[in-house]
Structure 1
Amino acid sequence: MQTMFRYNWLVREEWYRWCEDVSVEELQRTRTGGVGGILHTLFHIIDVEWSWIQELQGKSGFQESFESYNGLEKVRKLDAAFRPEVEEFVQSWELSMETRPFFDPRPNGTMDVDAWGEVMRHVIAHQIHHVGQLSVWAREIGKKPVSANLVGKGLINPQLLS
């Protein structure tokens, strides 16, 4: 679990650096698919990660809109503000949390019950899904996307036998 979150954070940082060489207009341009454009998607990834982890802890999620965070530095600052608490929660993950029930009230008055492990994996998959969209949009504007390769990022050190 921790490895995949670290992977997502590393890839997200690489996307921020990728964005530095793209005009504000391109970063904010509404695109086909997803939640909007490149910056809006990065904001959305942060929002969803933070909100789900807040919900698991019984806290309220993030309620602000993208309009308040429509610049690269604003998105980065939001991520930096949220990351320490998210990282603390991820690092405290233990096996007993996998099947802990999460009660998710639905707008129609019903209640879904999911396992915490399922919610955490959803958060991981959510970013990976949107990074795929970012990659397509990068190619549309003529830029090479950030590599999605997990191998070679140094996230797991091999145990070499002597």
Structure 2
Amino acid sequence: MIDLFKYNWMVREDWFSQCSKLSENELVQERQGGHGSILRTFFHIIDVECSWIQAIHGDVVSEPNYEHYKSLELIRQLSRESQEIVNKHLLKWSPTEEFKTVTVPWSAHTYYYGEVIKHVIVHEIHHMGQLSIWAKDVGLDAVNVNYIGRGIMDGHKGCSKYVL
């Protein structure tokens, strides 16, 4: 499961690099689907990841305000900061926690730890698909989303910066 977080973070970083070719106007332009714009969708992905992980571990959930992150570089920095928070918790993860029950402040439901972790992983993958469609709309190539060839499981090809 941890390797899938590494994968998401690598693909996210690739998207940041690809989207750095776009103007600020293109990044904030309202689009159909996602969370309205490329920048807001990145913000949403990061916010969801960090808030769910903080909540299931009993941390105070940080609630960043999108108005403070209205550039790609600020979103990229928020991503790096949230990865440090998430990383801290994932290092403690064990398969024995898969069916541990957890609650979050924004829901009356009880969830399984493993279900939340998996939700966070696939949530990002879903939105990366939206970015692929939007990239075509603005003339960018989509990012390579292959898991194979990234060296995630063997620690090669730059994966060490995604230490978990």
Which of structures 1 and 2 has the bigger CA Rg? 1
Render the CA deviation track for 1:36-80: whole Å, top value 9, x for unaligned.
111111111110000001101112223232121010111011112
Report the equivalent of 1:160. none
Report the equivalent of 1:59. 59
Report the equivalent of 2:9. 9
After superposing on structure 2, the runs of 4+ consecutive aligned residues of structure 1 that deviate more than 6 Å are none
SS at structure 1 position matched to 2:63: coil
SS at structure 2 position matched to 1:102: strand
When structure 1 is superposed on structure 2, of 45-54 and 73-82 the one drifting more is 73-82
TM-score by length of 2: 0.89
Report the equivalent of 2:128. 131
Report the equivalent of 1:83. 83
TM-score by length of 1: 0.90
* Runs of 5+ consecutive residues of structure 1 not aligned to the other structure: 158-162
CA distance change for structure 1 residues 7 and 140 in 2, over 3 Å: closer, same or farther? same
- Is the Cα contact below 8 Å between 1:105 and 1:112 reproduced in 2? no
Report the Cα distance in structure 1 between the residues aligned to 2:7 and 2:64, rounded to whole angstroms.
Answer: 26
Give 1:16's aligned amino acid. F
When structure 1 is superposed on structure 2, of 55-64 and 1-10 the one drifting more is 55-64
Report the equivalent of 2:145. 148
For the aligned residues, what is the CA RMSD?
1.4
| TM-fit CA distance, 1:104 | 4.0
Give 1:156's aligned amino acid. M
Report the Cα distance in structure 2 between the residues aligned to 1:106 and 1:80, rounded to whole angstroms.
Answer: 24
